[in-house]
A and B are shown apart, each in its own frame.
Chain A
């Protein structure tokens, strides 16, 4: 327990120390090196807790509000999320040792990066509402500062503004939720909240507030609008942290409150969470498919993965209300596994987009292409990330989705009829989002890395430094490892799951061949290792056979293209044209796609033009009206600024009387 505290302290110290020294040449390497060391230390502290639960500990620090003090606790759930946070943090720090050198304004990044890491660690360790909210708000503000670091770029100011508003809204909701949870006695320590028994109404209020608060931070539809603006605006290692790790901290908040503090769930909680998850998953990936900015595509795709995690959590709640502990354990394991997976591959993919940004100065996929020839390491690791996030076996993304599917398949045993029908529909949505994710990443990789360069910058790209490559290689290896040896991860999760659902999956690591059997071998089993070995052996066999039997002759020639090769790279498929069929199939009802083609007159040499407009319905039907209403109210209330003193006093007086009258009536 002491080690994580030292780590947090050290990170804050680094943040403070970075302020005066950040303009030094070597400052970036030192700061990021220190962050790397700190995260590694935190990992060594958290990992043993997961494997040997005896390491749980709590500590009360005499900080903060005098009579409340700061409660900190390292239990299994906290330890797991500590691992996720610090794994992402360590990778981002390692990556940033190289990437940070290209930063134009290091003074805007260096002090905030360690503080951001420290805040996320502190959220996970917090054991009372004040510490939690303080750390949560600190996390929001430091990440906001990081988003604003390139404040002169187009759109960044708007992204920062929207992010700030949404973050403030989220924290407000959480504050109110904790207010309800604390009950009449005002016990703000989590231990007191666990003991508190809430009425059904209070539980409902808490659930809705938490979904709004933590959900807006995680990026559920329709509260996702800030996410695809803010995440890409930050420097890439920070984007990776925000997308890969900060959304997971939000998930942590949700799990902590809904599963532990709010009391026994009702059946409709799970229905709500499932519907939110399914909508988020499908809409997130469809939005992602429509983007041609690489980083924004990744950010939208985070929304999809949050949806998948929500589906897992919703299933866990459903099984818990039905008293099926084993099912709840399976679903929760799937959700947490996906939390880990997503933090791995989303960080990896953001790193890849960062190196592309460094090498070409471009985020727009329409100006990239052919990078696989010039950036082999980035391309290969990015490809692994794409395959993993598209849930392709034998990588890790597949395992967590497979576990979610297995959880869905035991849903007929649920007692509530509504859930019985809802869960298969959610399964269809999950399958749809997985298939669309594959299309999305074929597009992302195919347009940016394959084909011919679409701009001079893409033609002149070079592979980046060793640190960035090392970070990407490490994450890619972890993706493969988690996919091939899923049993180890599941075993590491079993303690956490038992803490939350009173059951856990049977131990996996003792099974022959390290296969994964969530319930019973007759029901389902999966073995990534055997599959990988099988694939490798078969492909080697085939390659050898072809080498022995087939002709070896290879001739390089211009592309065939049905006899009409055009050397102009503009004749290739673009990101927009790749998505066109899917846009046409799904887009009409979801985005209200407006497509207009302007053809020049016959004989005219003017170019034909395609005008395309997509609508974000959440933005247009939810946020714009709210903003307009706020505007309207502000204009009305503006008159209050110009009153006489007597009228102000009258207002204060009236308020006082009304409150007193309310109090009198209430009693």
Chain B
């Protein structure tokens, strides 16, 4: 593979990690959703570039799905949800932004450290792709852990899923069927979570998961 192709792939997947970190940095829900949309767009570009480099046309479909569903549909739905729930002014993190970012950097280091030595034999592009993908997954988990608000957790989950797609696209040869089914399952997850959110709100007047802890188990 020649230099430029690698550079662009590197830039796009690195950009995905960076946007994952930016997700951690956001405290407001609207900006969180905006950044998430950017995340999906970059993912679409990264996958499309992989499609071009590997000349694997089915990856274009994957890219398109990412772009349409995650870049447009899901953010719009989330926007509406936040609007309907009236929680757009809420600012909520469990620990400070600085500390979360620091943890995030640590996770990126960890995933590079884990991935690079064990994939010594693999192709350069695959190696760095896997390293970045693992960091995106870990950062998505971190986002889910560090948010109180259920919408934040949904975004964390979706960005985690983006990391999986990045890994699959880099790994050369994920069948289209799998990708489409994953995409639909994510969509269904969104619907289910959305319904649940409204139900939870109706029942408890909040979507703050922290508050919900009080309702666990049998109350006397």
- Do the two chains touch directly in the complex (Cβ atoms below 8 Å apart)? yes
Binding site for B on A (CB under 8 A): 417-418, 421, 425, 588-589
Contact assessment for B113 and A588 in the assembled complex, using a CB-CB cutoff below 8 Å = no
11 contacts between A and B (CB under 8 A): A417-B113, A417-B116, A417-B117, A418-B113, A421-B109, A421-B112, A421-B113, A425-B109, A588-B96, A589-B96, A589-B99
For B96, list chain A residues within 8 Å (CB). 588-589
For B109, list chain A residues within 8 Å (CB). 421, 425
Nearest CB in chain A to that of B113: its residue: A417
Nearest CB in chain A to that of B108: its residue: A421
6 closest A-B pairs by CB? A421-B109, A417-B113, A417-B117, A421-B113, A589-B99, A418-B113
CB distance from B130 to the nearest CB of A (A): 15
Chain B interface residue bracket vs A:
under 10
The complex places the Cα of A417 from the Cα of B109 at a distance, in Å, of 10
CB distance from B94 to the nearest CB of A (A): 13
For A589, list chain B residues within 8 Å (CB). 96, 99
For A421, list chain B residues within 8 Å (CB). 109, 112-113
CB distance from B188 to the nearest CB of A (A): 39
CB distance from B144 to the nearest CB of A (A): 22
For B116, list chain A residues within 8 Å (CB). 417
The complex places the Cα of A418 from the Cα of B99 at a distance, in Å, of 21
B53-110 residues with Cβ-Cβ distance < 8 A to A are 96, 99, 109
CB distance from A283 to the nearest CB of B (A): 15
For B113, list chain A residues within 8 Å (CB). 417-418, 421
CB distance from A544 to the nearest CB of B (A): 48
CB distance from A275 to the nearest CB of B (A): 13
Q: A421-B109, A421-B112, A589-B96 are in contact. List 4 more A-B contacts (CB 8 A).
A: A417-B113, A417-B117, A418-B113, A588-B96
The complex places the Cα of A417 from the Cα of B118 at a distance, in Å, of 11
Q: Which of B96, B109, B112, B116 has the most CB of A within 10 A?
A: B109
Q: Which of B99, B113, B117 has the most CB of A within 10 A?
A: B113
For B99, list chain A residues within 8 Å (CB). 589
CB distance from A330 to the nearest CB of B (A): 24
Q: Which of A418, A421, A425 has the most CB of B within 10 A?
A: A421
Nearest CB in chain A to that of B109: its residue: A421
CB distance from B21 to the nearest CB of A (A): 16
For B112, list chain A residues within 8 Å (CB). 421
B91-150 residues with Cβ-Cβ distance < 8 A to A are 96, 99, 109, 112-113, 116-117
The complex places the Cα of A165 from the Cα of B207 at a distance, in Å, of 53
The complex places the Cα of A425 from the Cα of B112 at a distance, in Å, of 14
The complex places the Cα of A588 from the Cα of B95 at a distance, in Å, of 11
CB distance from A436 to the nearest CB of B (A): 15
The complex places the Cα of A589 from the Cα of B97 at a distance, in Å, of 12
The complex places the Cα of A652 from the Cα of B109 at a distance, in Å, of 57
CB distance from B35 to the nearest CB of A (A): 24
CB distance from B220 to the nearest CB of A (A): 34
The complex places the Cα of A425 from the Cα of B113 at a distance, in Å, of 14
The complex places the Cα of A588 from the Cα of B97 at a distance, in Å, of 12
The complex places the Cα of A588 from the Cα of B109 at a distance, in Å, of 26
Nearest CB in chain A to that of B117: its residue: A417
Nearest CB in chain B to that of A589: its residue: B99
The complex places the Cα of A417 from the Cα of B116 at a distance, in Å, of 9
CB distance from B195 to the nearest CB of A (A): 38
CB distance from A415 to the nearest CB of B (A): 11
The complex places the Cα of A417 from the Cα of B117 at a distance, in Å, of 8
CB distance from B25 to the nearest CB of A (A): 16
The complex places the Cα of A425 from the Cα of B109 at a distance, in Å, of 10
CB distance from A588 to the nearest CB of B (A): 7
For A418, list chain B residues within 8 Å (CB). 113
The complex places the Cα of A589 from the Cα of B95 at a distance, in Å, of 10
Nearest CB in chain B to that of A417: its residue: B113
The complex places the Cα of A421 from the Cα of B115 at a distance, in Å, of 13
For A588, list chain B residues within 8 Å (CB). 96
CB distance from A493 to the nearest CB of B (A): 33
The complex places the Cα of A589 from the Cα of B96 at a distance, in Å, of 9
Nearest CB in chain B to that of A422: its residue: B109
The complex places the Cα of A417 from the Cα of B113 at a distance, in Å, of 6
For B117, list chain A residues within 8 Å (CB). 417
For A417, list chain B residues within 8 Å (CB). 113, 116-117
